[in-house]
Amino acid sequence: MTSDNNTPRGWSRRSVLKGATALGAAGVAGLPMIGKAFAQDNALSFWQFYAPRGDVKTQVDWFTTMVDAWNAANDTKVNLEYVVGSDYISGSKLATSFASGQGPDIFIISPGDFLRYYNGGVLADLTPHIEAAAQQDFPQSVIANRMVDGKIYGVPMEVEPMAFYYSVKAFEDAGLNENDVPKTWDELLELGNKLTTGERYGLMFETGPGYYQNFTWYPFMWQGGGEFQTAEGKSGFDSPAVVQALKLWQDAINSGAAPRQILGGGGGDIVANLGSGYCAMQNVGIWGISAMENNAPDVPYGIFKLPVPNGGKYVTVGGGWAFVANAKGKNPEAASRFIAWALASMAPDSIQRVVDWCTVAKSDMPPRDSALRQGGEAFNKGKMAVFSKDIHPGTRAEPRVPPEVYKIISDAIQATQLGGADPQATATAASQQLDAFLASYSGAPIL
């Protein structure tokens, strides 16, 4: 570890690590060399997993065009620093960089990881740089989990609700069509087994532990009325709704309808799994539309909203990444101005930038009301219309949780889904762990 004598002025290692166990656990050996390259000048480093070396041209172009426009008009420049997605999302590089006092000036985080960095004291308050009209342009359902005490600490670039995608060929081979999509969990499992062959799984949920798996599991807990935390701040995990959600994912594996191993980049990679014929139905977010159009254009597929348990209510989860600024970076003021200019200005080009990200670079729902209006027909035609009209209205924001809470939930999912543990006993044990942690938690509110 870097000694405290080498920690840059203004940093408190204790404040950076507060409430963020994974930061402390990350070793400096994993620190990427990027970020050091610009230590000698005033350029702001912007870490993300899209550009300039990403493999999706529309996304690379969106980021580079944005940064080029900023750099052409501002003395303080921004440099895009590419980090491989698996290292950024599931690895320790970002956490390690902050633990060693060398975090990027601008970076992106999901709601699930917000409290790690907010409680660590490294997120700048962006509110002073965002005009009132722009603040009101973000629906509360989108912006609330990036706010603390009425202040904005992250500006979302997208909203990504989850659904199921299905292979038209797999359905046709089984004598099925779009009228046969499952409406209930029982029908989902039944159809998953029917669509399973010696060469193909009928159904797929994420199996790899991580923030993404938790994110994709939450709606199944919510549909039965479950919560991991009660309104009083205690654990709500020991409940019938939690148990049945754990059991659903376990049953999918135990029946043989769902695989333990997933291809490509994991459960969020639709091309490597459903697109390749490895599975017939896959739980994936809205980004799957552009992924299939760009990388499997000849594979016909359909989309349906998440089935519900008996007596349950439809709900899905909406995630999405947000731009954030390092409060301890080289120039937090300029980094905050860049973020506001890029995604949170009422200027037409700022609004259009959000539209372009959600319709050209990717397929997402926009996080701003003005972008939804300005995008117009793009959100209401083809496969996007299925999300706009059928799936997105049931969206609930991704929870923000401290790393300790994430890990308890993740361990419970893994133990039941892949480890064969009893769902009820697992929920009870996890609930006790949650209560023990929540009793002494002192960070920003868990949402």
pLDDT digits (tens, 9 = 90+) for 17-57: 333 333 333 322 233 333 333 344 789 999 999 999 998 99
- Weakest mean pLDDT among 23-37, 276-290, 339-353: 23-37
Domain-located, residue 187: yes
Helix axes 211-223, 240-254, angle to 10 degrees: 120
Asked whether the predicted pLDDT for residue 113 surpasses 50, the reply is: yes
Q: What band does 1 get if pLDDT is binned at 50, 70 and 90?
A: very low
On whether both 244 and 308 belong to a single domain, the answer is yes
Confidence bin at 137 (pLDDT 50/70/90)? very high
pLDDT-based confidence at 426, cuts 50/70/90? very high
- pLDDT at 435 exceeding the cut of 80: yes
Q: Are residues 147 and 124 in the same domain?
A: yes
pLDDT at 377 over 60: yes
pLDDT at 443: 96
Rounded percentage of the chain residues whose pLDDT exceeds 70? 91
Average pLDDT over residues 255-267: 96
Host domain of residue 296: 160-318+401-438
| Token representation of residue 33 | 């060399």
132 and 188 both lie in a single domain: no
Please state whether 306 falls in left (phi above 0), alpha (psi between -120 and 50) or beta: beta
Specify the DSSP class assigned to residue 399.
P
Q: In 10 A of CB 435, how many CB atoms? A: 16
Number of domains in the chain: 2
**Whether residue 169 sits in one domain with residue 149:** no
Q: 134 and 211 share a domain?
A: no
Domain presence at residue 182: yes
Is the domain of 74 the same as that of 143? yes
> pLDDT at position 21, please?
36
Q: Is the same domain home to 234 and 354?
A: no
Q: How many CA atoms lie within 13 A of 76 on its CB side?
A: 15
Residue 376: its pLDDT value, please? Answer: 87
* 266 in a structural domain: yes
**226 and 346 belong to one structural domain:** no
Q: Which residues are within 8 A (CB) of 158 and not within 5 positions of it... i.e. 6 or more apart?
A: 320, 321, 357, 358, 362, 364, 365, 366, 367
**301 within a domain of the structure (yes/no):** yes
In this predicted structure, what is the pLDDT of residue 32? 34
Residue 443 lies in a domain: no
9-15, long-range: CB within 8 Å, 24+ apart, which pairs? 10/328, 11/101, 11/328, 12/121, 13/99, 13/101, 15/120, 15/121
Round the average pLDDT of the chain to a whole number and report it. 91
Same domain as 278, residue 140: no
The torsion angle over the Cα atoms of residues 441, 442, 444 and 447, rounded to 10 degrees, is 30
Per-residue confidence (pLDDT) for residue 40, from 0 to 100: 40
pLDDT at residue number 139: 97
Tell whether 423 and 353 lie within a shared domain. Answer: no
- Identify the pLDDT of residue 33: 33
Residues 143 and 19 in one domain: yes
CATH code where residue 366 lies? 3.40.190.10
Average pLDDT over residues 5-26: 32
Query: Which of 82-86, 280-284, 327-331 comes out lowest in average pLDDT?
Result: 82-86
Taking a C-beta distance cutoff of 8 angstroms, is the pair 424, 245 a contact? no
pLDDT at res. 4: 28
pLDDT in tens, 330-343: 999 999 999 999 99
Q: Residue 55: its pLDDT value, please?
A: 87
d(CA 423, CA 242): 8
Q: Is residue 444 part of a domain?
A: no
The pTM is what?
0.89
403-422 tens-digit pLDDT? 999 999 999 999 999 999 99
Residue 447 maps to a domain: no
Mean per-residue pLDDT, 361-390 = 95
If asked whether residues 378 and 413 sit together in one domain, one would say no
pLDDT band at 103 (very low <50, low <70, confident <90, very high): very high
Q: Would 446 be classed as within a structural domain? A: no
Please determine, for residue 7, whether its predicted confidence score (pLDDT) is greater than 70.
no
